[in-house]
Structure 1
Amino acid sequence: MSEKELGKSEMSSVESFCQNALQSTIAPLTIGSVKARITHAAWKLGWSISRTKDAWYADPRISIDGAELTRVEEVSGLTYAKRELQSLDDLIAKAEALLDGPEADFHRPFVDAFRAFIGALNRS
Protein backbone atom coordinates (compact mmCIF):
# COMPACT_ATOMS: atom_id res chain seq x y z
CA MET A 1 0.00 0.00 0.00
CA SER A 2 1.44 3.36 -0.94
CA GLU A 3 2.01 6.15 1.59
CA LYS A 4 -0.76 8.18 -0.04
CA GLU A 5 -3.24 5.29 0.23
CA LEU A 6 -2.20 4.63 3.84
CA GLY A 7 -2.83 8.25 4.82
CA LYS A 8 -6.18 8.21 3.03
CA SER A 9 -7.32 5.02 4.78
CA GLU A 10 -6.32 6.39 8.19
CA MET A 11 -8.32 9.55 7.61
CA SER A 12 -11.28 7.77 6.13
CA SER A 13 -12.20 5.99 9.37
CA VAL A 14 -12.43 9.31 11.24
CA GLU A 15 -14.29 10.89 8.34
CA SER A 16 -16.62 7.91 8.20
CA PHE A 17 -17.27 8.11 11.94
CA CYS A 18 -18.08 11.83 11.70
CA GLN A 19 -20.28 11.29 8.66
CA ASN A 20 -22.23 8.55 10.43
CA ALA A 21 -22.58 10.61 13.61
CA LEU A 22 -23.80 13.63 11.65
CA GLN A 23 -26.32 11.73 9.56
CA SER A 24 -27.68 9.30 12.12
CA THR A 25 -27.45 11.02 15.50
CA ILE A 26 -26.76 14.74 15.31
CA ALA A 27 -29.09 15.47 12.39
CA PRO A 28 -31.34 12.43 11.82
CA LEU A 29 -33.89 12.03 9.04
CA THR A 30 -36.67 13.41 11.24
CA ILE A 31 -35.24 16.93 10.84
CA GLY A 32 -36.19 17.08 7.17
CA SER A 33 -34.25 17.72 4.00
CA VAL A 34 -30.52 17.17 3.72
CA LYS A 35 -29.98 20.93 3.59
CA ALA A 36 -31.95 21.40 6.81
CA ARG A 37 -30.08 18.53 8.45
CA ILE A 38 -26.68 19.97 7.49
CA THR A 39 -27.73 23.39 8.79
CA HIS A 40 -28.96 21.82 12.04
CA ALA A 41 -25.72 19.86 12.48
CA ALA A 42 -23.63 22.99 11.82
CA TRP A 43 -25.60 24.87 14.46
CA LYS A 44 -25.25 22.07 17.03
CA LEU A 45 -21.52 21.65 16.40
CA GLY A 46 -20.73 25.33 16.05
CA TRP A 47 -19.17 24.70 12.64
CA SER A 48 -19.62 26.59 9.39
CA ILE A 49 -22.11 25.22 6.89
CA SER A 50 -19.34 24.43 4.39
CA ARG A 51 -17.25 22.58 7.01
CA THR A 52 -20.29 20.59 8.09
CA LYS A 53 -21.17 19.81 4.47
CA ASP A 54 -17.63 18.51 3.85
CA ALA A 55 -17.88 16.25 6.91
CA TRP A 56 -21.44 15.21 5.94
CA TYR A 57 -20.21 13.89 2.61
CA ALA A 58 -16.88 12.66 4.09
CA ASP A 59 -14.88 14.72 1.61
CA PRO A 60 -11.44 13.07 1.48
CA ARG A 61 -9.77 16.49 1.27
CA ILE A 62 -10.74 17.43 4.83
CA SER A 63 -8.92 16.48 7.98
CA ILE A 64 -10.89 16.24 11.20
CA ASP A 65 -8.72 17.46 14.07
CA GLY A 66 -8.91 16.24 17.66
CA ALA A 67 -11.05 19.12 18.90
CA GLU A 68 -13.58 18.58 16.11
CA LEU A 69 -13.71 14.85 16.79
CA THR A 70 -14.22 15.51 20.49
CA ARG A 71 -17.05 17.93 19.66
CA VAL A 72 -18.74 15.34 17.43
CA GLU A 73 -18.44 12.79 20.25
CA GLU A 74 -19.91 15.22 22.81
CA VAL A 75 -22.87 16.25 20.65
CA SER A 76 -23.67 12.79 19.31
CA GLY A 77 -23.02 10.77 22.44
CA LEU A 78 -21.03 8.34 20.31
CA THR A 79 -17.38 7.55 20.94
CA TYR A 80 -14.63 6.93 18.45
CA ALA A 81 -11.87 6.37 20.97
CA LYS A 82 -10.47 3.00 21.98
CA ARG A 83 -12.04 3.20 25.45
CA GLU A 84 -15.03 1.36 23.99
CA LEU A 85 -12.82 -1.54 23.00
CA GLN A 86 -12.36 -2.69 26.60
CA SER A 87 -16.09 -2.85 27.26
CA LEU A 88 -16.60 -4.76 24.00
CA ASP A 89 -13.84 -7.19 24.96
CA ASP A 90 -15.52 -7.70 28.34
CA LEU A 91 -18.84 -8.49 26.66
CA ILE A 92 -17.18 -10.94 24.30
CA ALA A 93 -15.40 -12.66 27.20
CA LYS A 94 -18.73 -13.05 29.02
CA ALA A 95 -20.32 -14.47 25.89
CA GLU A 96 -17.45 -16.90 25.40
CA ALA A 97 -17.89 -18.08 29.00
CA LEU A 98 -21.27 -19.44 27.93
CA LEU A 99 -19.45 -21.85 25.63
CA ASP A 100 -17.72 -23.60 28.55
CA GLY A 101 -20.90 -24.61 30.33
CA PRO A 102 -22.97 -27.79 30.03
CA GLU A 103 -25.27 -26.17 27.47
CA ALA A 104 -22.50 -25.06 25.12
CA ASP A 105 -24.22 -26.48 22.03
CA PHE A 106 -27.33 -24.49 22.86
CA HIS A 107 -25.45 -21.21 23.42
CA ARG A 108 -23.01 -21.38 20.49
CA PRO A 109 -25.37 -19.85 17.84
CA PHE A 110 -26.24 -17.06 20.27
CA VAL A 111 -22.59 -16.33 20.97
CA ASP A 112 -21.77 -16.29 17.24
CA ALA A 113 -24.59 -13.83 16.61
CA PHE A 114 -23.48 -11.73 19.58
CA ARG A 115 -19.90 -11.63 18.26
CA ALA A 116 -21.15 -10.43 14.87
CA PHE A 117 -23.26 -7.76 16.55
CA ILE A 118 -20.41 -6.53 18.75
CA GLY A 119 -18.08 -6.59 15.76
CA ALA A 120 -20.48 -4.38 13.84
CA LEU A 121 -20.57 -1.91 16.73
CA ASN A 122 -16.79 -1.85 16.81
CA ARG A 123 -16.65 -0.74 13.14
CA SER A 124 -18.32 2.60 13.74
Structure 2
Amino acid sequence: MTTEFSQKASEMRATSLDEAADLLRRVAGERQAGESMKAIFRRLGRKLDNWSENRIRDVWHRDPRIKVRADEVSQLRALTEPKRKPESIHDLEELRATVARLARYEALLQRLDEDLYGPDISAAGDQLGQARSLLGKSGSGL
Protein backbone atom coordinates (compact mmCIF):
# COMPACT_ATOMS: atom_id res chain seq x y z
CA MET A 1 0.00 0.00 0.00
CA THR A 2 2.82 2.37 0.81
CA THR A 3 4.41 1.87 -2.58
CA GLU A 4 1.08 2.48 -4.34
CA PHE A 5 0.63 5.72 -2.42
CA SER A 6 4.16 6.90 -3.18
CA GLN A 7 3.74 5.96 -6.84
CA LYS A 8 0.53 8.01 -7.11
CA ALA A 9 2.18 10.93 -5.30
CA SER A 10 5.11 10.91 -7.69
CA GLU A 11 2.71 10.76 -10.67
CA MET A 12 0.79 13.78 -9.32
CA ARG A 13 4.07 15.61 -8.75
CA ALA A 14 5.17 14.87 -12.31
CA THR A 15 1.82 16.06 -13.67
CA SER A 16 1.99 19.36 -11.80
CA LEU A 17 5.62 19.78 -12.84
CA ASP A 18 4.70 19.18 -16.50
CA GLU A 19 1.85 21.69 -16.26
CA ALA A 20 4.11 24.25 -14.58
CA ALA A 21 6.82 23.79 -17.22
CA ASP A 22 4.29 24.18 -20.04
CA LEU A 23 2.80 27.30 -18.42
CA LEU A 24 6.28 28.71 -17.85
CA ARG A 25 7.06 28.34 -21.54
CA ARG A 26 3.80 30.12 -22.42
CA VAL A 27 4.67 32.98 -20.05
CA ALA A 28 8.11 33.24 -21.66
CA GLY A 29 6.61 33.54 -25.12
CA GLU A 30 8.64 33.39 -28.28
CA ARG A 31 12.40 33.30 -28.01
CA GLN A 32 14.00 36.32 -29.65
CA ALA A 33 16.73 35.84 -32.22
CA GLY A 34 20.04 35.57 -30.44
CA GLU A 35 18.42 35.44 -26.99
CA SER A 36 20.18 33.09 -24.59
CA MET A 37 18.40 30.82 -22.14
CA LYS A 38 19.91 32.86 -19.34
CA ALA A 39 18.23 35.97 -20.78
CA ILE A 40 14.91 34.12 -20.97
CA PHE A 41 15.24 33.05 -17.33
CA ARG A 42 16.03 36.63 -16.30
CA ARG A 43 13.01 37.90 -18.26
CA LEU A 44 10.84 35.31 -16.53
CA GLY A 45 12.32 36.30 -13.18
CA ARG A 46 11.03 39.85 -13.70
CA LYS A 47 7.53 38.52 -14.32
CA LEU A 48 7.48 35.95 -11.49
CA ASP A 49 7.50 37.25 -7.94
CA ASN A 50 9.72 35.36 -5.50
CA TRP A 51 11.08 32.94 -8.10
CA SER A 52 14.85 32.54 -8.25
CA GLU A 53 16.63 31.96 -11.52
CA ASN A 54 17.49 28.44 -10.32
CA ARG A 55 13.83 27.74 -9.53
CA ILE A 56 12.79 28.90 -12.99
CA ARG A 57 15.51 26.77 -14.57
CA ASP A 58 14.49 23.66 -12.57
CA VAL A 59 10.84 24.00 -13.56
CA TRP A 60 11.77 24.79 -17.18
CA HIS A 61 13.86 21.62 -17.40
CA ARG A 62 11.30 19.55 -15.44
CA ASP A 63 13.80 18.54 -12.77
CA PRO A 64 12.17 15.53 -11.04
CA ARG A 65 13.83 16.39 -7.72
CA ILE A 66 11.66 19.47 -7.17
CA LYS A 67 8.07 19.85 -6.03
CA VAL A 68 5.93 22.55 -7.59
CA ARG A 69 3.71 24.36 -5.10
CA ALA A 70 0.08 25.12 -5.86
CA ASP A 71 0.65 28.88 -5.49
CA GLU A 72 3.36 28.71 -8.15
CA VAL A 73 1.03 26.96 -10.60
CA SER A 74 -1.70 29.49 -9.78
CA GLN A 75 0.67 32.37 -10.47
CA LEU A 76 1.63 30.86 -13.83
CA ARG A 77 -2.01 30.26 -14.73
CA ALA A 78 -2.87 33.87 -13.91
CA LEU A 79 -0.10 35.11 -16.19
CA THR A 80 -1.25 32.93 -19.10
CA GLU A 81 -4.99 33.61 -18.85
CA PRO A 82 -6.25 35.94 -21.53
CA LYS A 83 -7.05 39.44 -20.38
CA ARG A 84 -10.77 39.90 -20.95
CA LYS A 85 -11.43 43.33 -19.54
CA PRO A 86 -9.67 45.44 -22.19
CA GLU A 87 -11.36 43.44 -24.93
CA SER A 88 -14.81 43.99 -23.44
CA ILE A 89 -14.10 47.71 -23.08
CA HIS A 90 -13.00 47.80 -26.71
CA ASP A 91 -16.17 45.94 -27.75
CA LEU A 92 -18.33 48.40 -25.81
CA GLU A 93 -16.61 51.38 -27.42
CA GLU A 94 -17.05 49.80 -30.84
CA LEU A 95 -20.75 49.24 -30.15
CA ARG A 96 -21.19 52.87 -29.06
CA ALA A 97 -19.51 54.06 -32.26
CA THR A 98 -21.84 51.84 -34.31
CA VAL A 99 -24.90 53.23 -32.53
CA ALA A 100 -23.75 56.79 -33.17
CA ARG A 101 -23.09 55.99 -36.83
CA LEU A 102 -26.56 54.42 -37.22
CA ALA A 103 -28.17 57.47 -35.64
CA ARG A 104 -26.35 59.74 -38.12
CA TYR A 105 -27.44 57.57 -41.06
CA GLU A 106 -31.02 57.59 -39.88
CA ALA A 107 -31.04 61.39 -39.64
CA LEU A 108 -29.37 61.74 -43.04
CA LEU A 109 -31.85 59.42 -44.74
CA GLN A 110 -34.79 61.30 -43.23
CA ARG A 111 -33.44 64.57 -44.58
CA LEU A 112 -32.81 63.25 -48.09
CA ASP A 113 -36.11 61.69 -49.03
CA GLU A 114 -38.37 59.97 -46.58
CA ASP A 115 -40.56 58.38 -49.29
CA LEU A 116 -37.63 56.87 -51.17
CA TYR A 117 -35.63 55.77 -48.15
CA GLY A 118 -38.54 54.88 -45.83
CA PRO A 119 -37.67 51.13 -45.58
CA ASP A 120 -34.00 51.95 -45.01
CA ILE A 121 -34.93 54.44 -42.29
CA SER A 122 -37.14 51.85 -40.64
CA ALA A 123 -34.38 49.21 -40.76
CA ALA A 124 -31.82 51.67 -39.40
CA GLY A 125 -34.23 52.60 -36.60
CA ASP A 126 -34.68 48.93 -35.71
CA GLN A 127 -30.91 48.38 -35.61
CA LEU A 128 -30.46 51.50 -33.54
CA GLY A 129 -33.06 50.31 -31.06
CA GLN A 130 -31.39 46.91 -30.77
CA ALA A 131 -27.98 48.46 -30.26
CA ARG A 132 -29.31 50.84 -27.62
CA SER A 133 -30.92 47.93 -25.78
CA LEU A 134 -27.55 46.12 -25.79
CA LEU A 135 -25.88 49.21 -24.39
CA GLY A 136 -28.56 49.47 -21.74
CA LYS A 137 -27.86 45.89 -20.61
CA SER A 138 -24.16 46.61 -20.25
CA GLY A 139 -24.85 49.26 -17.65
CA SER A 140 -24.04 52.34 -19.73
CA GLY A 141 -26.24 54.35 -21.96
CA LEU A 142 -25.51 56.24 -25.11
TM range (shorter): 0.5 to 0.7
Pick one of 43, 56, 70 that aligns with 2:74.
Answer: 70
Task: Tell me which residue corresponds to 1:38.
Answer: 41
Task: Tell me which residue corresponds to 2:9.
Answer: 7
Where relative contact order (Cα < 8 A, 6+ residues apart) is larger, the structure is 1
Task: Tell me which residue corresponds to 2:52.
Answer: 48
In 2, Cα distance between equivalents of 1:76 and 1:42: 15
Task: Report the alpha carbon displacement of residue 4 of structure 1 after superposing the two structures with TM.
Answer: 3.4
Contact residue 28 and residue 37 of structure 1 kept, 8 A: no
Moved over 6 A (4+): none
Aligned-pair identity in percent equals 22
Task: Report the alpha carbon displacement of residue 5 of structure 1 after superposing the two structures with TM.
Answer: 2.9
Task: Report the alpha carbon displacement of residue 30 of structure 1 after superposing the two structures with TM.
Answer: 2.8
- Give the TM-score normalised by the residue count of structure 1: 0.54
The answer for unaligned runs of 5 or more in structure 2 is 83-142
Task: Report the alpha carbon displacement of residue 42 of structure 1 after superposing the two structures with TM.
Answer: 1.8
In 1, Cα distance between equivalents of 2:5 and 2:18: 20
RMSD of aligned Cα (Å): 1.9
Q: Which amino acid aligns with 1:37?
A: I
After superposition, the C-alpha distances for 1:2-41 in whole angstroms (9 at most, x for unaligned) are 4433222111111101111112x11123342222111111
After superposition, the C-alpha distances for 1:84-122 in whole angstroms (9 at most, x for unaligned) are xxxxxxxxxxxxxxxxxxxxxxxxxxxxxxxxxxxxxxx
The answer for unaligned runs of 5 or more in structure 1 is 79-124
Task: Tell me which residue corresponds to 1:27.
Answer: 28
After superposition, the C-alpha distances for 1:47-106 in whole angstroms (9 at most, x for unaligned) are 11111111111111111112111111111228xxxxxxxxxxxxxxxxxxxxxxxxxxxx
